[in-house]
Amino acid sequence: MENLIEINREYNSLESLYDFLKASSSFECSKEYDIWEHRTDANGQMAQCLVIKKSGMHAVKLYFVKDDFVKVNHIIPNKMMQAYFGKSQKKYRNILEIITGKIKDVVLAGSQQKAFDELETEISKAGL
């Protein structure tokens, strides 16, 4: 689950968007390093993203892809749960990873979509 959202010019930096979401959102908001995709910034350092957390299993991360557009992805903020139920980045997966991936798709898909929609509406308050 991912989406691109256009953001107002006044919130076109990670810091200003973080301040807005922290003040206006009822969910927990934090600025963290992107350990889910291991993106790097222009200096070769690990890039930062904003994480809006609904629970231990449901959160979204967002980062700027263009000046006024943020990319929103559903993540599992709990690192242990992410290891078992998150999207695997490996080319070859073992049987346990394939089975837990199917369980996640069947059992968690509905609740993840609902949480993603709720969190996305919070972010769109800063949008156009």
* Structural domain containing residue 46: 2-124
Q: Can you give the pLDDT at residue 86? A: 60
Start-end of H helices in 1-128 = 14-24, 79-85, 95-103, 109-124
**Is residue 116 packed enough to be buried (19+ CB in 10 Å), middle (13-18) or exposed (0-12)?**
buried
Torsion 5-26-38-87 (CA) sign = negative
Q: Can you give the pLDDT at residue 31? A: 92
Q: Report the SS3 class of residue 66.
A: coil
Considering its fold, how many domains does the chain have in total? 1
Order of strands across the sheet with 59-64? 2-6, 69-75, 59-64, 48-53, 28-33
Q: pTM (2 decimals)?
A: 0.74
Residue 82 CA to residue 65 CA, distance in Å, equals 23
Q: Can you give the pLDDT at residue 81? A: 64
Q: What is the mean pLDDT of each run of 10 residues along the chain (128 residues)?
A: 83 89 88 85 87 84 87 78 59 74 72 79 76
